[in-house]
Amino acid sequence: MPRPLKISRHGSHDIAMEWDTGRETVYPARFLRLACPCAQCQDEMTGKRLITDSALPILTYPTKIEPVGRYAVQVHWSDNHSTGIFTWEYLWELADELDKRREKAALS
């Protein structure tokens, strides 16, 4: 599993990660907040999203990013949410999703 070498802010709201594979990913803050894997944001049994884009404040951004062991980060958000643990594996999957979205947008 790839691991991040560096995690930093990108601009005033987004999060950037440099991976040990050479890949660089910029996660838009709102995208990452909506992808929170915690039980408040995603049904544990079905995986259904419990939080919606319209439920978030217009300006939602990370206020703090903390390491969780050697496998994840916990992001504290401006909407006072902080229970999601983003594993390296999950962040890698989200990076793939972002790449696909960006490719699709470039084609249209």
3-state secondary structure the chain: CCCEEEEEEECCCEEEEEECCCCEEEECHHHHHHCCCCCCCECCCCCCECCCHHHCCCCCCEEEEEEECCCEEEEEECCCCCCCEEEHHHHHHHHHHHHHHHHHHHHC
Q: Which CATH number fits domain 4-92: 3.30.470.20, 3.30.200.20, 3.40.50.300, 3.30.2020.30?
A: 3.30.2020.30
CB 94 within 8 A of CB 102: no
Per the listing, tokens 């978030």 go with: 56
Kindly report, residue by residue over 30-54, the tens digit of the pLDDT.
999 999 999 999 999 999 999 999 9
Compare 90 and 58 and report the one with higher pLDDT.
90
pLDDT at 98 over 90: yes
Q: Where are the domains of the chain?
A: 4-92
Kindly report, residue by residue over 4-24, the tens digit of the pLDDT.
999 999 998 999 999 999 999
Give the separation between CA 63 and CA 4, rounded to whole angstroms.
Answer: 20
Segment 78-99 mean pLDDT: 97
Which residues have a Cβ under 8 Å from the Cβ of 39 and sit 6 or more positions away?
Answer: 83
For the full predicted model, state whether its pTM sits above 0.85: yes
